[in-house]
Structure 1
């Protein structure tokens, strides 16, 4: 228990130590054993160092949090705006994890036209923080990503520690692309949450914040169209009534001038209405065009024209092999007609 061994940490490596070691503090050091030639003694060439135990981790967390806050990394006025209609979302998380599956499910349900780019990274253990920060940088190099989500499921403070590393905080802060964090559960907070442009309580919630709801979007478009038509109709009727009143009031002496003046007024109103509608549509044309293209691609008739066939058995659409019943007739539905097949 009283054994000792010399350890060194070279300049440059200590830049990744995010806390100030204190006398008596227990730490975990990783590195490699080397030989010190002048004495022929062994020493540990340290490559990383972190606090050991929940108490020490919490102290280091608070120390780094305060230092980054003082630097301005958490300031609200530098947070980037989250796009309303993203076309491509990058996800930094563990590969083949429940968190990833949950996010993909939410995206398919809410906004199936969005493209997902998965940037897999370790989210726990040695080297995790380096992989996370590097994947954030890689997504920034692509230049066509609209939103980055960094996420992982719940765990202890130590489990989530990769997201408390300064290297990850710096990568998020330097990202040109808006970053949404969805780390752990609602009660979990990491340094990455404070630096990110938007914090979500869970990975699924992060994807919900990143995507619009297609049903709400269609309802909004329909409501806007209905309201615009009604407003135009009401304004025209008001102007017609005013023209009629003017004609009755002044007779036909100034009829030509009155009509011309009111016609110009109507034209001005129509022009302003058209400009407002045009501006709104122009602002949202990318999202609308994207939706229309996606809706067309999901049209079952268009899919069948490309050579796909639907299979029905006992009036039900067969989606899986396990649903198909042997020795029972079935129906093949082509784009130009149906064929009934008896399965002997």
Structure 2
């Protein structure tokens, strides 16, 4: 029922506010398209200002932080979005706003969302694993280049690479670098270059462009073909801000085609300067070692033992001479004492020897068999025996035997 009012019976403002709030509540949740003009993030809630794409009209939008976080691509100011929201009317001040329950990017944002989902799926398969990246050769003998015919990217790569290393050899394969069929053309050129064993690194180069222009370089088939390559692949697509999925799967990402030329070959001037610097450092190091060793040798030669090498030998020679004199004196004393002892023993032996007794006129009678005749009773008449003197013996024969009246050993009168 319409509200009946007049100048004489006006409706209170609060009643009008309540009626407007009731009308808006009956509207329910709606889908709204617009552009984010302002975005303020808070820990729990986010506050946006969304404006119409054509008319100069804007409306406040509130949502929970999780609504923005659920978006597959980051939502920022200037993004075109479609949001599912319920209109709300704040009765105390008559403020109309939208309470968003879902926010979706559209246009380029939706395209980026699809690419992000594809990137996440390929990353989950391990295609971007840094441990699987192949190392580029220090100085490749031959470089494969996939680019557009007559493009600025081709010129940048070839000219800059040859300025850095004039002898670098390129095998260029031209392919469609934009539009339908671009991904398939790049895949075919990539397979040809990967099969060429003389090619040591492959560069895929293209100049900058919009997200739609660079879309072929996020093609899943191309990404998988690059991952399957046995030859290292360098991605040089667009400019620094451009990040197609090819950059993630390639063994090396170059920010621009010019940067790719700097990455694949060294600078001959820098290398020559480095060699000269290393030669100078090596020469200084060798001279330093030689000088240290010369000083060391001079210090060793200045020591007394080397300045006069016979010093220790002379001292030892004196010691040896002293020891020899002492040994000779000691040995002479021992020999003298031993000679004296031998002389004493010899005198005693000679004094006790039967020969010395016989030398005084005594002799010994012996039979032919060598037995000593100690008594005349052992002899018979006409017996033969010998008399032993100090200087020889005499054979005799008994004529007669005259025994003494006294027994042997008795004292004579």
Normalised-by-shorter TM-score class? 0.5 to 0.7
| Cα displacement string for residues 264-312 of structure 1 (whole angstroms, at most 9, x for unaligned residues) | xxxxxxxxxxxxxxxxxxxxxxxxxxxxxxxxxxxxxxxxxxxxxxxxx
Q: Provide the rounded CA distance (Å) in 2 between the counterparts of 1:229 and 1:146.
A: 35
Gaps of 5+ in 2: 1-105, 310-413
Residue number among 74, 77, 84 corresponding to 2:128 in the alignment: 74
Equivalence for 1:91: 145
SS of structure 1 residue aligned to 2:253: strand
Question: 1:53 Cα shift?
Answer: 5.1
Q: Provide the rounded CA distance (Å) in 1 between the counterparts of 2:277 and 2:112.
A: 51
Residue 198 of structure 2 is aligned to residue 144 of structure 1: yes
Equivalence for 1:209: 263
Equivalence for 2:165: 111
Q: Using CA pairs below 8 Å that are at least 6 residues apart, which structure has the higher relative contact order?
A: 1
Q: Structure 1 residues 70 and 241, CA, compared in 2 at 3 Å: closer, same or farther?
A: same
Residue number among 170, 173, 197 corresponding to 2:251 in the alignment: 197
The answer to whether the 8 Å contact 2:300/2:306 transfers is no
Equivalence for 1:222: 276
SS of structure 2 residue aligned to 1:252: helix
Alignment RMSD: 1.9
SS of structure 2 residue aligned to 1:148: strand
Equivalence for 2:224: 170
Equivalence for 2:285: 231
Higher helix share: 1
Q: Provide the rounded CA distance (Å) in 1 between the counterparts of 2:151 and 2:308.
A: 79
Q: Provide the rounded CA distance (Å) in 2 between the counterparts of 1:190 and 1:182.
A: 10
Q: Provide the rounded CA distance (Å) in 1 between the counterparts of 2:152 and 2:307.
A: 81
Residue number among 190, 199, 209 corresponding to 1:155 in the alignment: 209
Q: Which runs of 4+ in 1 moved over 4 A?
A: none
Q: Provide the rounded CA distance (Å) in 1 between the counterparts of 2:248 and 2:308.
A: 70
SS of structure 1 residue aligned to 2:303: helix
SS of structure 2 residue aligned to 1:112: coil
Equivalence for 1:123: 177
SS of structure 1 residue aligned to 2:280: helix
Q: Structure 1 residues 234 and 66, CA, compared in 2 at 3 Å: closer, same or farther?
A: same
| Cα displacement string for residues 78-110 of structure 1 (whole angstroms, at most 9, x for unaligned residues) | 111122212211111111111111111101211
Question: 1:253 Cα shift?
Answer: 7.8
| Cα displacement string for residues 192-232 of structure 1 (whole angstroms, at most 9, x for unaligned residues) | 00101111111111111111111101100111111111111
Residue 115 of structure 2 is aligned to residue 61 of structure 1: yes
| Cα displacement string for residues 133-155 of structure 1 (whole angstroms, at most 9, x for unaligned residues) | 12111111111212111111111
Equivalence for 2:306: 252
SS of structure 2 residue aligned to 1:65: helix
Residue number among 100, 108, 116 corresponding to 2:154 in the alignment: 100
Q: Structure 1 residues 132 and 250, CA, compared in 2 at 3 Å: closer, same or farther?
A: farther
Question: 1:56 Cα shift?
Answer: 3.8
Pair member with larger Rg: 2
Question: 1:251 Cα shift?
Answer: 2.9
SS of structure 1 residue aligned to 2:302: helix
Gaps of 5+ in 1: 1-51, 256-344
Q: Provide the rounded CA distance (Å) in 1 between the counterparts of 2:271 and 2:263.
A: 14
1:281-320 paired onto structure 2 within 5 Å? none
SS of structure 1 residue aligned to 2:260: helix
Q: Provide the rounded CA distance (Å) in 2 between the counterparts of 1:250 and 1:213.
A: 58
Question: 1:250 Cα shift?
Answer: 4.3
Q: Structure 1 residues 254 and 106, CA, compared in 2 at 3 Å: closer, same or farther?
A: farther
SS of structure 2 residue aligned to 1:251: helix
Residue number among 224, 237, 245 corresponding to 1:183 in the alignment: 237
